[in-house]
Amino acid sequence: MSSIRPVLAMVWLFGLLAVPAAVGQAAPPEASADSPVSFDVYGRIEKAPEIVEREREDGSVSAQAPLSIYASGDRAIRLNGAEARQELGFVVSPRADVEQVDLNLRHITSNGLVPDTPHLRVSVNERAVAQLKGLRQPAIEVSTVSIDPDYIESGYNRLWFDGIHRYTYECQNPQAPELWSEIDALGSEIDIVYKRRPFTGRLSELSEIGSPGFGGMKTLTVITSGETPTADHLKWGALSIQGFVNRADGALPEIEHRSLSELTPDASNSIGKSDIVLVGIAEDLAPLLGSDAQQIDDAYLRIMPSPFDETAFMLVVSGTTPEEVTRAATLLTRLDFPLVDDEEMRIPNGTISLETAPAYRASVDAGVTYRLRDLGFRDITVRQKTFETFQADFLMPADYFVPDGEIALLSLDLAYGADLREDSVLNIFLNGAFQQSIWLRQPEGAVIPGYEVRLDARALRPGRNTFGFEVVLTPGEGGQCGLRSDRHLAFAMKDSSTLSIPDSAHFAELPDLSLLRDTGFPFVSHHDDLSVVRLMDDRSETVAAAWTLVAKLHALTAASPGDIEFGYGGDIPSDAHAVFVGAAASFTDSGVSARDVQKAANGVRIGRSGALHAFKSPSADDRLNIIVTASTSTQLLEAVRSLTAPSHWSQVKGAHVEWRRLADTVRTLPADDMFYLGELEPRARIAFFNARQPWGFVGLVVALLLAMGVLLTIAVRYLRSGDSNAS
Amino acid sequence: MTRHRRDPALLRTVIAFAAFAVLVVFAAIPTEIGTQLALAAATCVMLVGMSWLRPTSSLLRIFVILLTVFTSTRYMYWRTTETLPWGDPLGLFFGFCLLAAEFYGYTILLLSTFIMTDAPRRVPPHPPLSVAKCPSVDVLIPSYNEDPELLKATLIAAVNIEYPKEKLAVYLLDDGGTVQKRTQADPLKAAEARARNEELIALCESLGAHYLTREKNEHAKAGNVNSALAQTDGELVLILDADHIPTRDILTRTAGYFIADPKLFLVQTPHFFINADPLERNLDTFEKMPGENEMFYSVMQPGLDSFNAAFFCGSAAVIRRSCLDEIGGLAGDTITEDAETALELHARGYRSAYVTHPLIAGLAPETYTGFIIQRMRWAQGMAQIFLMKNPLFKPGLKFAQRIGYLNSCFFWFFPLARIVFILGPILFLLFGVHILDAKAVDFAAYGLPHVLGAILLSVTLFGRVRWLFASELYEIIQSVHCAGAIIQVFRNPRAPSFAVTPKGENVDQDFISPLSGSFYWLVFGVVLAQITGLTRLAVDPSEFGKISVLLVWNTFHLLLLLCAVGVMFERAQRREAPRPGSKRRLVLRREADLYPITTRDISATGFGLDAPLAASGVYQLGNRFTVDGFDPIAKESVRIPTLCVSRRDAPDCIKLGFVFEPERPEQERATVNLVFGDSRDWKEFRDNRASSGGMTGKVFFLLANGVERAILHFRALATGGAL
């Protein structure tokens, strides 16, 4: 007994320590509601990385972007070993003319390296731009690297940092701990000066026009005709926004809404440099389009410079009837439909189907075997390298449910070179978790068609899944310092490799906001279920908040919100999944479940800037309702923008989320009342519910056996009494 | 108003099957592995707890049984539905074989549980009220080639049986002295048979028994008995093997049942052996571990009896002659005529009874070869019944009787299952054949509670009469040779012929059994698989779980096989007559001095004594004493001369050996009566061995002795048989 006391004490102690972290409420005080800061685990305030843009007198823009933004939020870029490379990427919009690019690097290098040789090479788009010697003193070196603007390309730009380390010119251990350099990702930045050109784009260039990055689209204002947006306007706006968001690989601009009627002659002050989408019936758009509106005689798209800023654009989405406007807006969401290489186009009836198109990043189907090339993977060849990683992504359905023990089969077509050392392997990861190694040990090399890797199908999760492949090729001869060639280091994995997904039921336990987070479920692409978005008021901020949320949900799979029914108020069809968006006060007497409105509102009353609450629909047992609210409409829009930022969105789970603007303020709560969407065959359903209460099942079995024991004991006594009577 | 008397056997059957049906339904409830792990953990905790608490209440005992059956049913359901390697044809074939073997074990578990759980105890019979009401009894002692000295003790004891003399007749049925034997072509053997014939006739005459023989040796033991039945007329027949020496009360404890129940055809009594079988002798477990057959006679037969399915075991049984006459004597279609006869008579509606009290003292086969000859006959005979007279389809039997006989027959297929169990891990570890498709965590969740439950249920049901893993060891030493014998029956059910079990063999020095060869191959295979498995464990982490589980399984078989090899190294047995450690209170007389003593052991030829050091002067080598005995014929005291023939001074006593030196017939009768006459001695001896405590120590004892003998075996093998 005495030996268990220290264990109990440890458990108690760790329990105490774990409570604040688990509850997630004990966040440190914020410096101020709007300051871009966050706190580390010691409660120290540190600056949150963000791009700071400043307009200069000559109309150009100077932007400073900390490198940590492009390094997945890491505070430092570490380069360990004799040769190490880190790649970062940043985007420059084709709408920007880059005038100057500087790279301000704060870096430090190991004291153990040989002096007077460069340890760090910087390259941009495969061209070296600098060699730096790391400071070998305790202080950090600050270097400014000027990059020729001609090296910068429109679109994605790659920035490479190569560490080239030696502690001796003799033989060295390439993995020696002395071999390192480090770049302070928070303190280093790209300083770029650009000027946006007067807009001259065409519809066919919509992807480039709407791209994010330096000089790209930051704000998208949707202007609707009339005083207040109708349900049709809400839908047209959502479709139009989604057209841009899906083309930008899910990057969300700041979405604004304006009614045409509220635009004043000096509206340029409020709309500013924002890009614009103008949606509505043609005749209603005349206040802004003037006589051009009369030329609209069918479903119509036109891109032109914004009347409020020549560097911004305005996309007109219109038609003479609501159906035509819908057709025009829907076309924007068809990523595979080529838009004309012109500024305007008409879309005659019958050009496209108004049926909602499938998501462009569609999830795989259960019970199907896919070639990896069908999932976007392409042949990989590794040559003359000792280490390489690559990955294959695919989306799983949100309501994918397989029984325990089902196997997903990854069948890999591989080849590798000869004379590899015995510790050469291919490591396979699924969603970051190691699954299996494949030993590359045949001295003469091998071609392996269909190497089977059996994976627990339960390791597949709803939404995006990633296979990680890590190739380790070690030369077989020469030892550490001998003469050796690395030309025989070769590995290939073919895109003819396959992934077999076991058949499954469609079944999900709700509310589970992690499904919403990863797939938009059940509002996006869930069979034929009806989904509605209801706004509690018609304020522009509320409209923009609803559009932002809808765009985020559909961006996950590049889907179209064509099936979403928009509207106002709390009345919804009983068989619909619903999202209610509005300021807390606007829910009063709205018809939305008062109890759940109260729960959602409580979050914002205690100081959170936004709350999202999911619950079972009062009118149907298998429908999900969600309330998104904040204290005011203005705060609602800010809150939704924060929520849809990756830092917040990645934390969404459970049934209730509250947050402030800072990522470490997100608080989640599980659901009180769970329900189930989909069907399971009876045995799988029993197994599922057993798994929910394993000890309950054990108790049930024990109780049953005891009850049987009692009955049998009584029976035995009865039989014995009969025997003794008989004798 | 008529009151219908309930049928307890039928009620028990209905209740048991209803309970089993409920368990099956619950055992098939699907769960996820986490839930199953929780269930496994709870099951193991409960089983271990129950094993530690040793509950005596019926409720907890039944709960343990239900829990075990539930766990095993769940395991089998999982094995059947989720672990067969469907993608690998070779693996699937062997996987099916393994699954079939496991189903064999599961079926035996269910049948045994059904038969043995809470069987009611039989009420002792009313003794015959008067001589006139006593049925006449013929004692039939079939003999083939047994030593006359062995027969003499049996005949004396048979004549000594307490029963009205006018109602009792003892017959020696000699198949070694038939006309066919006496006139055979080989003159030496013919002369041998004639001499035996004459010697046994004289022996019978001197003891008051009858000598019977026949023309030809047809239909072995059954034919011999049937031939005698034609020449005798007793209402009841007591059949005794030549080496089965009856106690005086054998008829007073059995004949009364026949008076009480006119439909009774059989009263069977246990076979109690006073010598060690090869395993007991070679692993030194005799007098410590209950004999192999005690589980059958102490637990199984009473259970069968509760369903009116106790069956004839060939000897130590009283049978109603009229019933035998009805079916033309002992049945002879199979080589287990005893069980076959009982099956035929049960099918005709006759009843049997079983008395748990040991009433004969017999001899187990001394050598492994003799043991295997006996077991091959039993295995083949029961397999013949299963194939030719399957009790499931035999008209006239009640359902519970069918289950009972099915269990008795089906049990004998264990050699096939055991061989599959040994080969399964070898196939995977050595050749990489995937015999099942499961992970270590699955084994922990399903297999562990099943194995633990089976072990603890075995302790619960048989713990007093069977050491843990002793069954597995007995099975493994029989499996190799019996498996072939069973396969022979499958190929030709009528092929097997009756082989007489050699008894009374003397082993004058340690030797390696000539049947050891196949065990060397098995040990070689298992060791090779073990080495390969350990190597694979080190270099192939992808199958760590499965390899680990099968290595544990393989290790278990390796230990069993080593113990079996230990059994194959036959220990010398120089004493002519076996001396069980039976303590008797006697009075030694030397001239006028009387010395009350308690023997260390006793046999037909003498006894051992641990005398106090103070009596050193009395017990000198060559000193003659007399032992006070009792002549049951004359019903008077008799003094049996005895001689001190050995003496060894130990630190705390003097170890002495005496031999009986009877000079007159009444002294011989008194000697047999003294040693074999009282059934309470055998019961006490048997009860002293029965204990369910200290099972861990017993297992280690068995294992240590087995491995030690195996080492000696291999050393003798390496040195060409010399130690």
Contact A715 B15 (CB under 8 A): yes
Give the per-residue pLDDT at B455: 87
B509 touches chain A (CB under 8 A): no
d(CA A586, CA A604): 14
Consecutive H or E run containing B565? helix B544-568
CA torsion A720-A722-A727-B1 (nearest 10°) is 180
Contact B59 A704 (CB under 8 A): no
Task: Return the higher-pLDDT residue of B693 and A582.
Answer: A582
Q: Which residues pair with A305 in a beta bridge?
A: A313
Nearest CA in chain A to B23: A705
A697 touches chain B (CB under 8 A): yes
pLDDT tens digits along A113-163: 888 788 899 999 989 999 988 665 656 778 899 999 999 998 899 999 999
Q: Which of B3, B32, B63, B441 to mutate to test the interface with A (most CBs of A within 10 A)?
A: B32
d(CA B174, CA B180): 12
User: What three-state secondary structure class fits B205?
Assistant: helix
Catalytic site includes residue B241: no
The structure tokens listed for B515 are 């049947």
Q: Which of B24, B35, B47 to mutate to test the interface with A (most CBs of A within 10 A)?
A: B35
Contact B35 A716 (CB under 8 A): no
Q: Which residues pair with A724 in a beta bridge?
A: none
CB crowding B38-60: b at 16 or more within 10 Å, else e: bbbbbbbebbeebbeeebeebeb
Give the per-residue pLDDT at B446: 95
Task: For chain A, state the CA radius of gyration.
Answer: 30
d(CA B581, CA B603): 9
Give the per-residue pLDDT at A137: 61
A698 touches chain B (CB under 8 A): yes
Other Cβ atoms less than 10 A from the Cβ of B499: the count is: 13
Q: Which of B6, B14, B23, B39 to mutate to test the interface with A (most CBs of A within 10 A)?
A: B39
Question: What pLDDT band is residue A480 in, cutting at 50, 70 and 90?
Answer: low
B39 touches chain A (CB under 8 A): yes
CB crowding A685-697: b at 16 or more within 10 Å, else e: ebbbebbeebeeb
Give the per-residue pLDDT at B587: 87
Other Cβ atoms less than 10 A from the Cβ of B432: the count is: 12
Contact B120 A720 (CB under 8 A): yes
Contact B62 A688 (CB under 8 A): no
A715 touches chain B (CB under 8 A): yes
- Give the distance from residue A334's alpha carbon to the nearest chain B alpha carbon, in angstroms: 43
Give the per-residue pLDDT at B581: 60
Contact B38 A705 (CB under 8 A): no
Give the per-residue pLDDT at B389: 93
Nearest CA in chain B to A713: B59
- Residue A708 has its nearest CB partner, among B11, B22, B32, at B22
Alpha helices in A133-247 (DSSP H): 206-209, 231-247
Give the per-residue pLDDT at B451: 93
d(CA B322, CA B326): 6
Contact B62 A694 (CB under 8 A): no
Helix axes B337-347, B220-231, angle to 10 degrees: 60
Question: What pLDDT band is residue A44 in, cutting at 50, 70 and 90?
Answer: very low
Yes or no: say if B431 and B88 are a contact pair by the CB < 8 Å rule: no
pLDDT reading at A710 higher than 70: yes
pLDDT tens digits along A341-364: 999 999 998 888 777 667 777 788
Give the per-residue pLDDT at A384: 84
List of chain B residues whose C-beta atoms are within 8 Å of the C-beta of residue A710: 59
Yes or no: say if A332 and A319 are a contact pair by the CB < 8 Å rule: no
CA torsion B282-B285-B287-B290 (nearest 10°) is -120
Nearest CA in chain A to B260: A727
Q: How far is CA A414 from CA A446, A492, A494, B425, in A?
A: 8, 6, 6, 32
pLDDT reading at A20 higher than 90: no
- Give the distance from residue B387's alpha carbon to the nearest chain A alpha carbon, in angstroms: 34
Question: What pLDDT band is residue A43 in, cutting at 50, 70 and 90?
Answer: very low
Give the per-residue pLDDT at A668: 92
Phi first, then psi, for residue A552 (nearest 5°) are -65, -45
The structure tokens listed for A594 are 């008062």
With a CB-CB cutoff of 8 Å, which residues 520-549 of chain B face chain A? 542
Residue type for position A56: R
List of chain A residues whose C-beta atoms are within 8 Å of the C-beta of residue B6: 722
Report chain B's terminal Cα–Cα distance, integer Å: 80
Q: What is the mean pLDDT of chain B?
A: 89
Other Cβ atoms less than 10 A from the Cβ of A146: the count is: 12
B440 touches chain A (CB under 8 A): no
Provide the greatest CA pair distance for chain B: 88
Contact A713 B59 (CB under 8 A): yes
Contact B35 A702 (CB under 8 A): no
Cis status of the peptide bond prior to A475, with omega within 30 of 0 = no
List of chain B residues with pLDDT < 70: 1-6, 119-121, 124-129, 502-508, 573-582, 692, 721-723
List of chain A residues whose C-beta atoms are within 8 Å of the C-beta of residue B5: 726
- Give the distance from residue A710's alpha carbon to the nearest chain B alpha carbon, in angstroms: 6
Nearest CA in chain A to B14: A715
d(CA A329, CA B539): 61
pLDDT reading at A378 higher than 50: yes
Contact B35 A709 (CB under 8 A): no
List of chain B residues whose C-beta atoms are within 8 Å of the C-beta of residue A686: 29-31
Active-site residue (options: B174, B241, B243, B338) = B338
Estimate the share of chain B in helix, then strand, then coil, as percent rounded to the nearest 5: 55, 15, 35
CB crowding A401-422: b at 16 or more within 10 Å, else e: bbbbbbbbbbbbbbbbbeebee
pLDDT reading at A714 higher than 60: yes
pLDDT tens digits along A637-677: 999 999 999 889 999 999 999 998 877 788 999 988 899 98
User: What three-state secondary structure class fits A574?
Assistant: coil
Yes or no: say if A544 and A255 are a contact pair by the CB < 8 Å rule: yes
Strands A498-500 and A407-416: antiparallel
Consecutive H or E run containing B267? strand B264-268
Nearest CA in chain B to A709: B63
Q: Which of B62, B84, B536, B546 to mutate to test the interface with A (most CBs of A within 10 A)?
A: B62
Residue type for position A666: V
d(CA A180, CA B433): 49
A714 touches chain B (CB under 8 A): no
Alpha helices in A556-627 (DSSP H): 594-605
Estimate the share of chain A in helix, then strand, then coil, as percent rounded to the nearest 5: 25, 35, 40
Cis status of the peptide bond prior to A511, with omega within 30 of 0 = yes
pLDDT reading at A5 higher than 50: no
Contact A694 B35 (CB under 8 A): yes
Yes or no: say if B359 and B268 are a contact pair by the CB < 8 Å rule: no
d(CA A343, CA A340): 8
Catalytic site includes residue B175: yes
A703 touches chain B (CB under 8 A): no
Give the per-residue pLDDT at A376: 86
Helix axes A633-643, A540-555, angle to 10 degrees: 20
What ipTM was predicted for this assembly? 0.83
CA triple A545-A550-A552, angle to 5 deg: 95
Give the per-residue pLDDT at A35: 40
pLDDT tens digits along A424-468: 999 999 999 999 999 998 889 999 999 999 999 989 988 889 999
pLDDT tens digits along A52-103: 889 888 889 999 999 988 887 678 899 998 888 899 999 999 999 999 999 9
Strands B137-143 and B236-239: parallel
B208 burial (CB, 10 Å; 0-12 / 13-18 / 19+) is: middle
List of chain B residues whose C-beta atoms are within 8 Å of the C-beta of residue A683: 30
The structure tokens listed for B33 are 């592995």
Long-range contacts of B618-626 (CB under 8 A, 24+ apart): B618/B590, B618/B593, B619/B644, B619/B647, B619/B654, B619/B656, B620/B644, B620/B647, B621/B645, B621/B646, B621/B647, B623/B590, B624/B590, B625/B588, B625/B589, B625/B590, B625/B595, B625/B658, B626/B588, B626/B589, B626/B590
- Give the distance from residue B43's alpha carbon to the nearest chain A alpha carbon, in angstroms: 9
Residue located via tokens 């076309």: A331
What does the DSSP assignment read for B75-90? HHHHHHHH---TT-HH
